[in-house]
Homo-oligomer: A and B are copies of this chain.
Amino acid sequence: MADAVAIFSGGLDSTTLLYHLRAEGHSLRSLSVDYGQRHARRELDCAGRIAADLGLEWRRLDLTSLVDFFGSNALTDAARGIPTGAYSADSMALTVVPNRNMILLSVALSWAIATGATAVAFGAHGGTYAPYPDCRPAFADAMAAVARVCHESSLEVWAPFVGWSKADIVARGAELGVPFERTWSCYRGGVVHCGECGTCLDRRAAFEGAGVSDPTVYRPRE
Residues of chain B with a CB closer than 8 A to A59's CB: 68-69
Q: Which of A20-28, A39-47, A149-157, A198-206 contacts B (4 or more CB under 8 A)?
A: A149-157
A residues 78-108 near B (Cβ < 8 Å) are: 97-103, 105-107
Closest to A89 in B: B152
Pairwise interchain contact B62-A107, C-beta atoms closer than 8 A? no
Number of chain copies forming the complex: 2
A residues 95-135 near B (Cβ < 8 Å) are: 97-103, 105-107, 109-111, 113-115, 133-134
Pairwise interchain contact B149-A110, C-beta atoms closer than 8 A? no
Q: Which of A9-17, A136-144, A166-174 contacts B (4 or more CB under 8 A)?
A: A136-144
Residues of chain B with a CB closer than 8 A to A111's CB: 69
- A interface residues, Cβ below 8 angstroms from B: 59, 61-63, 65-66, 68-72, 97-103, 105-107, 109-111, 113-115, 133-134, 136, 138-139, 142-143, 145-146, 148-152
